[in-house]
Structure 1
């Protein structure tokens, strides 16, 4: 290709002609009648609008595409895929090393999504996109100085672009996209949207009815998904579907955006899916996350994404209801966590961590729009116990990460959401000290010491320079220095006028906490940012020991809120606290504050 006057490259005539020929082939293929039964004019008119259009035009692109299965067992031996190895982008030895590292370590933290593969060759025969995604993630976590991550990442972007208009969807390509969504922060939002759209195109979710047939007698799964004892393909499809839901909801929490997938039948009946399968640690872990994120989805529907809008005190009942559901969730699912042969007690520690992620996210809503002026804008007393729950969870996150060996070992292999929530918890504590210290009595040095422990952990973890851990460590170090300077200046500077004394917090809470709360086992949820003056709902920092309690004035508080009733977190439906006060009704409410 020749460089043009603008510094770019002009395509050669041969390349242009080749591309035009392919475009013509696509157009010609579009005009072909898809290989499906043509509808009769006498059939029922109760059909989808797109079915009617297809019946009239017979355009192939209007039809849902069938799922293409290309695995190591079905691929033709003589068929050689073009991939990053055959094209010389990376050496075979590097690919084997990266795939081996991923399968040995990282894959366990994503519920064993690629556990059916044992080596690089089987992955290579199955999907070029899957191979590239795995190599990209492994290169990101590889501390060896090289350009492997940059070249793998560039190739992955190219393959994703091709996937958008690929005429057929391969299951293993979706698996590769799923891996990219969870780990690669710079493409997770875009790639997840593409992957979910194409998964819907092949009706991946209908695999559910092959596993739980009584759940949808009106919906029949594709014939190739119905296999007796057990429907293994349907299970693979549903695991991917649930992972896409998890990723979609987590990204929605991180960015404050509307998720692509909603609370459909496969999500509502996720425990029926689990009950229909043989006991599996991976499936238990997947479904416990789906159950948790259903609660988080209801939170978003209730309060919306505007972090500047104050939460009216009349929403106290809704907040308490969400908190009870979270408490039930953690007690229920911790009892199902078993020790993993490769990652130890990570499954139970992660459940505790996600509990705190969620609890911080829910409870921090009471600080939306709250100013730092405790006299002119005090936190309503009805929200004070909820604020303290947020504080407890924020501290628990940091303590869990730095004290628990299984979570420390998982730090390098953690998904994008994991690192974002840890960063969010640290910034939460720093902002509490800097902006909201007058609302509560704060042990400044204790908070700064906690954040410094996370900084040290980020520096100790071996990974590629591109990894977000490096940027979290550097960013927190800068913010910590700024906070220390601000506190030092404030301590030595002159003060004009008297300020209302901060509300005291005493350490007397030991017996209200469940047994696991006294140990380093639990974690928050919300958007992560490293800007000190960014805007999002946060809660104030308190002085307390995690093994003790909190007494606010003369009222004893139960920060963990273990008041789960018999209905449980899934009982009664979410309608009682989402339908009545949805985000669309906010403008009609009068913000009545104490």
Structure 2
């Protein structure tokens, strides 16, 4: 007779299994999950395949007590049950904590309660096996969120649930990093997955939050669409016809458009401050994410073209995002018949120009090189979907191909003077620019928005390029130690002078150019300013015995440029305001030099036609910083702080 206190004992063949008769008694039609037996046997009894009996209150079985050995129980099934219970309790606590946090965030954002949201599609979620293998019960809860940004970040190295490397893949020479992904499956190497862009941008953007009224936003959008957007190659940078459309597509693009528009309209400083801060915040938050769209790239380009203090950073970031999205390969796909790649290829050309505007203009090497798409732009122009804006855009591409080649040939070292042998190659580039004008000026059709600006803009950029190239003839030369000017150097320097004057005269005399001077990208403002500063410095440092320049004519020309910049309708923080103030200060210093030179000339009985008296230089006219910087440098050396020191604090902070 079995004692009532003796635990139920089964044979080893029955361990862990329920009786079939017990299963058949179930009246529930649902499948019954097998129960895990909690029976246990020590190692010694299992070795002898005998029953393991425990008396009440004893921790050792009767067999081990009789044998005088240690009773060791290896109950793996019970351990699994215990661990599973611990894991479930921890998961339940974490779930409640997350639900509370999400509910609080929804309340703060004014969104519906958590219970109104669907449970989602479980088929897209992680599999139970994946959850089990990635679970780390021993990791502290504070470490489980270590992938978030902030101080004390701990890199969470996780693996991709991707397929095993295919050794029969016919692609033998992929990008090296692709092989590394296949072998290691380390997610950190990819900087997280590319997330799908949000679809609720309009309901959550800064306009909905009340940062700017919908009425004012509509007004700013309309202003940008009919002015700046048309000046930048006929509207190809902003393809949306209304504000609602652009808000749904990209908050970054809508913030960029409204910021640039507020910059150009008088008495919108407060609006500009709010939009600018929102734009900068959005740019900063997207720096380490991969959820980007083509409109996000456009938003970066809009800021680069018109926000001088951000242009260099934004243009570089735009190129990096574009290559991550594969825009550099769109032209090849387009030529293979994939017409849906047209917009992407067009944007790649726009990025090439944006990159070269703000690399060469700062004296820095460009990022995008002359790949197959850039070299074969004429093939792109043969496509049936090409618009007039594409012709204007690719005219810039063709011009910057010439200037980039010259940059690589001559470099940007301001102390490296051109040798006599360099002037032969310089003439080749001059001829290339002449041919560029002859080809592209007739192809640039007039626009109902900007009238003759497309063809006149080709002429303006022609003078820019000729001036930029030939100013190299004076690079690295010191006026105090005047070299012997060869015929080639003198010819090139005089071309630079005449081209710089042509730039200024065209801005002043051509109505369609003059009317557009506010809305054009800052590259045009840069070249106009560079031309004016160059002429002032040459008039001071090189007399007419060497170069053909008239100091009084230069002074009058710069004075008219200042008048133009002061009378245009623009916001208080617009670049034209700073150019006018900076050139005004330079003109005051020029007048001081001229007055000192006249005193010196009259004292010595000299004629007053020729500037550059030795005593005037000795008396400190002009100041040292007006002599050397920016004379004949390919990269200009022009940044936002050169002409007006107040630009150093160009942060749009609320006053």
Q: TM-score, normalised by structure 2?
A: 0.68
In structure 2, the partner of 1:458 is 565
In structure 2, the partner of 1:536 is 630
1:64-86 deviation per Cα after TM superposition (whole angstroms, max 9, x unaligned): 9998887xxxx85x664422212
User: Per the alignment, do residues 212 and 66 of structure 1 end up closer, same or farther by CA in structure 2, a change over 3 Å counting?
Assistant: farther
Offset of residue 88 of structure 1: 2.1
- State yes or no: 1:268 paired with 2:375: yes
Mapped to 2, the partners of 1:48 and 1:147 lie a distance apart of: 48
Which of the numbers 303, 306, 324 marks the counterpart of 1:183?
306
Which of the numbers 107, 124, 130 marks the counterpart of 2:229?
107
- Alpha-carbon contact 1:212-1:276 (below 8 Å) kept: no
Mapped to 1, the partners of 2:561 and 2:479 lie a distance apart of: 26
- State yes or no: 1:41 paired with 2:167: yes
Offset of residue 34 of structure 1: 6.4
Offset of residue 324 of structure 1: 0.5
Secondary structure of 1:255's partner?
A: coil
- Alpha-carbon contact 1:441-1:503 (below 8 Å) kept: no
In structure 1, the partner of 2:500 is 394
Q: Which runs of 5+ in 2 are unaligned?
A: 1-103, 106-139, 612-623, 634-655
Offset of residue 47 of structure 1: 3.0
Mapped to 2, the partners of 1:205 and 1:312 lie a distance apart of: 37
Mapped to 1, the partners of 2:536 and 2:375 lie a distance apart of: 38
In structure 2, the partner of 1:507 is none
User: Per the alignment, do residues 340 and 361 of structure 1 end up closer, same or farther by CA in structure 2, a change over 3 Å counting?
Assistant: same
- Alpha-carbon contact 2:447-2:454 (below 8 Å) kept: yes
Offset of residue 534 of structure 1: 4.5
User: Per the alignment, do residues 247 and 482 of structure 1 end up closer, same or farther by CA in structure 2, a change over 3 Å counting?
Assistant: same
User: Per the alignment, do residues 280 and 381 of structure 1 end up closer, same or farther by CA in structure 2, a change over 3 Å counting?
Assistant: same
Mapped to 2, the partners of 1:416 and 1:18 lie a distance apart of: 51
Which of the numbers 419, 422, 425 marks the counterpart of 1:315?
422
- Alpha-carbon contact 2:490-2:547 (below 8 Å) kept: no
User: Per the alignment, do residues 354 and 174 of structure 1 end up closer, same or farther by CA in structure 2, a change over 3 Å counting?
Assistant: same
User: Per the alignment, do residues 297 and 329 of structure 1 end up closer, same or farther by CA in structure 2, a change over 3 Å counting?
Assistant: same
Q: TM-score, normalised by structure 1?
A: 0.74
User: Per the alignment, do residues 239 and 279 of structure 1 end up closer, same or farther by CA in structure 2, a change over 3 Å counting?
Assistant: closer
- State yes or no: 1:240 paired with 2:240: no
1:244-284 deviation per Cα after TM superposition (whole angstroms, max 9, x unaligned): 11011111221100111111111111111112244521110
Offset of residue 489 of structure 1: 1.4
In structure 2, the partner of 1:510 is none
Secondary structure of 1:164's partner?
A: coil
- Alpha-carbon contact 2:201-2:249 (below 8 Å) kept: no
Q: Which runs of 5+ in 1 are unaligned?
A: 1-13, 214-225, 505-529, 540-594
Mapped to 2, the partners of 1:156 and 1:472 lie a distance apart of: 24
Which of the numbers 422, 426, 450 marks the counterpart of 2:532?
426
1:110-134 deviation per Cα after TM superposition (whole angstroms, max 9, x unaligned): 1213443111111111110000000
1:509-567 deviation per Cα after TM superposition (whole angstroms, max 9, x unaligned): xxxxxxxxxxxxxxxxxxxxx9633523439xxxxxxxxxxxxxxxxxxxxxxxxxxxx
Mapped to 2, the partners of 1:371 and 1:298 lie a distance apart of: 27
Mapping of 1:120-519 within 5 angstroms? 120-213=243-336, 227=338, 231=339, 233-373=340-480, 376-438=482-544, 439-493=546-600
In structure 1, the partner of 2:31 is none
Mapped to 2, the partners of 1:393 and 1:534 lie a distance apart of: 20
Mapped to 2, the partners of 1:458 and 1:211 lie a distance apart of: 43
- Alpha-carbon contact 1:185-1:416 (below 8 Å) kept: yes
- State yes or no: 1:87 paired with 2:178: no
In structure 2, the partner of 1:31 is 158
- Alpha-carbon contact 1:29-1:60 (below 8 Å) kept: no
Mapped to 2, the partners of 1:34 and 1:103 lie a distance apart of: 46
Mapped to 2, the partners of 1:491 and 1:501 lie a distance apart of: 7
Mapped to 2, the partners of 1:468 and 1:299 lie a distance apart of: 28
Superposed CA RMSD: 3.2
Higher relative contact order (CA 8 A, sep 6+): 1
Offset of residue 422 of structure 1: 0.5
Number of corresponding residues = 478
- State yes or no: 1:50 paired with 2:177: yes
Mapped to 2, the partners of 1:377 and 1:498 lie a distance apart of: 27
- Alpha-carbon contact 1:127-1:172 (below 8 Å) kept: yes
